[in-house]
């Protein structure tokens, strides 16, 4: 195998690779041999099928596997020889198949980290807020826990439900006298006043007494997540079966035992610990960002565009997810994909710049990410998505996202190292209501799940 390297830019490489005919023959023979060990055909014992029969029957698959194996061996050898690590997927340009008796010439293109002079990152002085948990914050979480563990009991009388109560109902939507598809339910439980449904729908429900029916017009917002309903007005028919209210449990040891603890004191401690962990992580992340911002301002270097593209796609995916949780869609913004990409591009470039800097520090420090660490992350992702681990791993490899994942994990390691080498001093926490509110949500979620 021979190869020639070209510099397309300070961060982009091209390698032209020439494999001799003998190497191609060896690759094909190796693929045939692998098939032979496990293949079983009628008329032949397992492992005894002649090589010529195997090659003729499965030539397409065999030659493709041989080509992939040959290319993978070449890439590994070249990267080790040049001391390079791609920061993006590798683009291959060449014939789709091998031919016996002929060599194989192809090229690969990929991006690498730019060469840069690292700023001094050891001993940086920075401040970090102390972690303080107030008693009233713990009390608020306890009240939410009581609410989550409340019993639903029927209310007296047959008057319409009010905010704070839970209604058991049937509903169905109609347009021009015909049922609207997928807009109906039976024995649906709706907690009023908690924004679980459109405001107009809740207002309609609050006019219907227990055991009776009612109807009214409901208008769906133009940006409603279901396209067939967006901007439309329907007639909603509702029947109320029951009106209930929450009966809160006592704040005592019995409540603690329901949550797997012995005493209410232990529950308070667990909530406080949850706050401490959440707030410590939040404060550490804020300090790391300040350190990173300072280091980035000391450097200037070209960016691999593939890393920028990955960040753009990540930001758009996160935005889409936020909109969908609010019952909206990305299309409801009324902007083209090009416009949306342009909006997030500055942030994507800033994030990619931070990642390049951290990866360069990781390289200098000899940091590495093991296959086990990569697999662990993919495994956690498979648990969240419900996908098979091996299937998801193959998707990462085929799409080139395996490189992006490895880079992100490596950049995180480098950031931890910079933080560990910094001179951090603690200061009293600020009274930022916004930060406290965000933190409170995290702590409450952790405690109620225990």
Of the options 3.30.160.60, 3.40.50.1100, 3.30.70.1050, 3.40.50.620, the CATH number for the domain spanning 2-111: 3.30.70.1050
pLDDT grade, residue 431 (50/70/90)? low
pLDDT of residue 45: 61
Is the pLDDT assigned to residue 447 strictly greater than 50? no
Looking at domain 151-247, which CATH architecture does it have?
Roll (3.10)
SS3 of residue 53 by DSSP = helix
Is the pLDDT assigned to residue 268 strictly greater than 70? yes
pLDDT grade, residue 228 (50/70/90)? confident
Is the pLDDT assigned to residue 440 strictly greater than 50? no
The predicted model gives 408-422 an average pLDDT of 95
The predicted model gives 295-316 an average pLDDT of 92
Residue 289 DSSP one-character state: H
- Per the CB < 8 A criterion, the answer to whether 303 and 352 are in contact is yes
pLDDT of residue 433: 43
pLDDT grade, residue 401 (50/70/90)? confident
pLDDT tens digits along 376-390: 999 999 998 888 998
SS3 string of 354-381? Answer: HHHHHHHHHHHHCCCCCHHHHHHHHHHH
pLDDT grade, residue 443 (50/70/90)? very low
Other C-beta atoms closer than 10 Å to the C-beta of 79 total: 17
pTM above 0.75, yes or no: no
pLDDT of residue 321: 85
pLDDT of residue 348: 94
The predicted model gives 112-135 an average pLDDT of 93
Q: Which residue has the tokens 């390079």?
A: 84
The CATH fold assigned to 125-131+262-448 is Trigger factor, domain 2 (1.10.3120)
CA distance 210 to 168: 10
CA distance 180 to 189: 20
What does R_g of the chain's alpha carbons equal in angstroms? 31
For the chain, what are the domain ranges? Answer: 2-111, 125-131+262-448, 151-247
Is the pLDDT assigned to residue 294 strictly greater than 90? yes
CA distances from 137 to 180, 248, 271, 276, 445 (A): 45, 19, 9, 12, 13
**343-283-447-324 Cα dihedral, nearest 10 degrees:** 0
The predicted model gives 184-207 an average pLDDT of 93
Is the pLDDT assigned to residue 133 strictly greater than 60? yes
pLDDT tens digits along 73-99: 999 999 999 988 888 778 999 998 999
SS3 of residue 166 by DSSP = strand
- Per the CB < 8 A criterion, the answer to whether 187 and 170 are in contact is yes
For the ranges 32-36, 323-327, 406-410, the maximum mean pLDDT occurs at 406-410
150-154, 233-237, 403-407: segment of lowest average pLDDT: 403-407
Task: Output the six-digit token pair for 441.
Answer: 């949500």
Is the pLDDT assigned to residue 253 strictly greater than 60? yes
pLDDT of residue 281: 95
């Amino acid at each position: 195998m021979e190869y020639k390297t070209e510099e397309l830019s300070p961060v982009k490489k091209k390698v032209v690779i020439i494999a001799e005919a003998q190497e191609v023959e060896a690759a094909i023979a190796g693929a045939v041999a692998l098939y032979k060990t496990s293949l079983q055909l009628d008329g032949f014992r397992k492992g005894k099928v002649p090589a010529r029969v195997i090659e003729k029957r499965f030539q397409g698959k065999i030659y493709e596997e041989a080509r992939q194996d040959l290319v993978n061996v070449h890439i590994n050898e070249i990267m080790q020889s040049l001391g390079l690590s791609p920061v993006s997927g590798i683009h291959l340009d060449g014939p789709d198949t091998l031919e016996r008796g002929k060599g194989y010439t192809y090229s690969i293109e990929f991006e690498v980290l730019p060469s840069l002079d690292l700023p001094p990152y050891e001993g940086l002085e920075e401040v970090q807020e102390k972690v303080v948990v107030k008693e009233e914050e713990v009390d608020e979480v306890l009240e939410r826990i009581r609410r989550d563990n409340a019993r639903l009991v029927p209310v007296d009388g047959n008057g319409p439900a009010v905010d704070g109560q839970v209604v058991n109902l049937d509903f169905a939507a109609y347009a021009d006298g015909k049922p609207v598809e997928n807009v109906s339910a039976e024995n649906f439980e709706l907690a009023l006043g908690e924004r679980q449904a459109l405001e107009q729908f809740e207002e309609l429900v609050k006019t219907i007494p227990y055991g009776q029916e009612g109807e009214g017009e409901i208008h769906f917002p133009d940006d409603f997540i279901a396209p067939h309903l967006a901007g439309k007005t329907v007639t909603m028919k509702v029947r109320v079966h029951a009106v209930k209210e929450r009966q809160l449990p006592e704040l005592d040891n019995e409540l603690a035992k329901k949550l797997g603890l012995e005493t209410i004191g232990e529950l308070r401690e667990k909530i406080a610990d949850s706050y401490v962990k959440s707030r410590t992580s939040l404060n550490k992340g804020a300090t790391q960002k300040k350190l990173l911002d300072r280091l980035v301002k000391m450097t200037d270097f070209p960016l691999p565009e593939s890393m920028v593209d990955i960040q753009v796609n990540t930001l758009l995916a996160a935005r889409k997810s936020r909109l969908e949780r609010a019952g909206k869609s990305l299309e409801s913004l009324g902007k083209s994909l090009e416009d949306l990409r342009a909006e997030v591009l500055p942030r994507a470039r800033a994030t990619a710049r931070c990642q390049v800097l951290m990866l360069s520090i990781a390289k200098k420090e000899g940091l590495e990410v093991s296959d086990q660490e990569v697999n662990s992350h993919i495994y956690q992702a498979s648990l969240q998505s419900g996908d098979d681990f091996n299937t998801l791993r193959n998707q990462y490899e085929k799409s080139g996202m395996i490189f992006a994942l490895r880079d992100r994990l490596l950049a995180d390691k480098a950031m931890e190292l910079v933080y560990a080498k910094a001179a951090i001093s603690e200061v009293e926490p600020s009274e930022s209501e916004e930060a406290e509110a965000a933190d409170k949500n995290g702590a409450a979620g952790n405690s109620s799940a225990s």
